[in-house]
Amino acid sequence: MAKLTATTLRNMKKPDQGKRFNRLYDGHGLFAYYMRRGTRPWRFRYHDTDGKERWITIGEYPSMSLGAARVAAAEIRTMLAQGIDPKLAKQKKTAVPIFTEAARQWLEHASKNWRSDHTKEIAEVWVNNDLQHAFGGMALSDVNAGHIVAFLRQVEAEGHDYKLRRIYGYLKRIFSFSISNGWCSHNPAAELVLRDLFRPYQKEKRPAFTNEKDIARLMRLIHGYDNLTVRHCLIMASLLFARPGELRRMKWAEIDLEKREWRYFVTKVSKDHAVPLSSQALTILAEQKKLSWCSDYVFPGHRSNKQPISENTLNAALRALGIDTKREHCAHGFRAMARTSLAELGYPKDYIELQLSHKIGRSESEQAYAREQHLPDRHQMMQTWADYLDALRNGDDVSHFKYKGI
């Protein structure tokens, strides 16, 4: 007798920490799974002609209802009664896509678990433009290691070392995804060893102002920028020194005015992060609220309030102010500016690294403890930092801002 009901399925719980999945048995070989990554496949258990236990995925809840899953399971039992292995039949029935289609399906599947819109945007451009141009309508089985190396050498010749390694990672995952779907039998990208083929990755140096004279000039310039939304974003970049991509995607829902904090998930290090808000930052937010046109984003784009300002906006604004973003100071440079200056003011390294959303401690529990333990101290540090920047901008004495302990 079938054990599952629609209510049981709706109330099925996600697996606890450490468990890969939860599952419920419906009867006659049909199981409902709840995977840790959030998917909820229907799976059927059977034995092949050699008596070995086999599993086949037949759909996913809720797009496949309980009734539809039972019908599919009944069809599989009919195939078994006729001596047909349903898994082999499914593989033969599945059409093998060309590389471009396989890449598109991989991206659609993989991006479901990406918490950063920026990561998805970059991947879409590189997959749909670069890989499409390189491999076009080639069959998966026709793409070999030589094709991949030739393509990656073009990327290297353009000076994009970081992009080369990211796309190489995408290629490995696309072929791994294709193998798991039965579309091809080997992964040509996995045969390559990048360090034997390409120059060592040199992390791009991002210029930053780090002496008080330059910082003072910078603050006076950005406070005079004509576009208010961009001006506010530049000022917040100096006050909060978050990564530019995180800052431009700041949402009103992430702001806790009562706690005076901005809380969001940092995709780069896969952790939640709290940014204390100084009184100056709160003032900027209050002014920006009047300009956001009911947008979810604190800094909405010029063309649409459904999107944040573009990734080039801050650097373009700095260049418009006469700052060389290749040699003097760039949008990412606000992080190095704060890191260097706060260290010179005597603030503990742990406070600064935590505020930069760098990892402190080896285990997750150590990192979580450090984040919460130093949060009140970081509130004080961020207010002092904001006051320090104001003093520099106004040409005031800043000798009293030295850290004296909390």
> Is 69 found in the same domain as 106?
no
Residue 120 has pLDDT above 90, yes or no: no
> Is position 205 within any domain?
no
> Is position 56 within any domain?
yes
- Span 218-226, average pLDDT: 96
> Is position 207 within any domain?
no
Task: Report the distance separating Cα 127 and Cα 123, nearest Å.
Answer: 6
Residue 149 has pLDDT above 90, yes or no: yes
Give the domain CATH number at 350: 1.10.443.10
Confidence of residue 153 (pLDDT cuts 50, 70, 90): very high
- Please answer whether residues 234 and 222 qualify as being in contact, where contact means their C-beta atoms are separated by less than 8 angstroms: yes
Q: What is the pLDDT of residue 200?
A: 81
Instruction: Count the neighbouring beta carbons within 10 Å of the beta carbon of residue 38.
Output: 9
Residue 206 has pLDDT above 90, yes or no: no
> Is 227 found in the same domain as 182?
no
Q: What is the pLDDT of residue 362?
A: 52
Give the domain CATH number at 70: 3.30.160.390
Q: What is the pLDDT of residue 37?
A: 79
pLDDT tens per residue, range 163-176: 899 999 999 999 99
- Please answer whether residues 114 and 265 qualify as being in contact, where contact means their C-beta atoms are separated by less than 8 angstroms: no
User: Which residue has tokens 């002092």?
Assistant: 384
> Is 277 found in the same domain as 143?
no
Q: What is the pLDDT of residue 305?
A: 87
58-62, 180-184, 371-375: the lowest-pLDDT one: 371-375
> Is 233 found in the same domain as 280?
yes
Task: Report the distance separating Cα 231 and Cα 222, nearest Å.
Answer: 6
Residues 6+ positions from 126 with CB-CB distance below 8 Å: 163, 166, 167, 170
- Span 88-101, average pLDDT: 73
Residues 6+ positions from 401 with CB-CB distance below 8 Å: 345, 384, 387, 388, 391
Q: What is the pLDDT of residue 1?
A: 46
> Is 140 found in the same domain as 25?
no
Confidence of residue 2 (pLDDT cuts 50, 70, 90): low
Q: What is the pLDDT of residue 366?
A: 56
Mean pLDDT over each residue of the chain, to the nearest integer: 88
> Is 160 found in the same domain as 25?
no
> Is 245 found in the same domain as 128?
no
Burial 275-300 (b: 16+ CB within 10 A, else e): bbbbebbeebbeebeeebeebbbbbb
Closest CA to 244 of 376, 157, 335: 335
Ramachandran region, residue 361 (left: φ > 0; alpha: ψ -120 to 50; beta: rest):
left
Q: What is the pLDDT of residue 356?
A: 92
Domain total in the chain: 3
> Is 39 found in the same domain as 188?
no
Residue 398 has pLDDT above 80, yes or no: yes
pTM above 0.75, yes or no: no
> Is 301 found in the same domain as 378?
yes
Confidence of residue 93 (pLDDT cuts 50, 70, 90): low
Residue 288 has pLDDT above 50, yes or no: yes
Give the domain CATH number at 130: 1.10.150.130
> Is position 1 within any domain?
no
pLDDT tens per residue, range 255-273: 999 999 999 988 777 788 9
Range of the domain at 65: 6-93
- Percent of the chain at pLDDT exceeding 70: 93
> Is position 158 within any domain?
yes
- Please answer whether residues 369 and 375 qualify as being in contact, where contact means their C-beta atoms are separated by less than 8 angstroms: no
Instruction: Single out the residue in 197, 228, 245 at which a domain terminates.
Output: 197
Tokens of 57: 């995925």
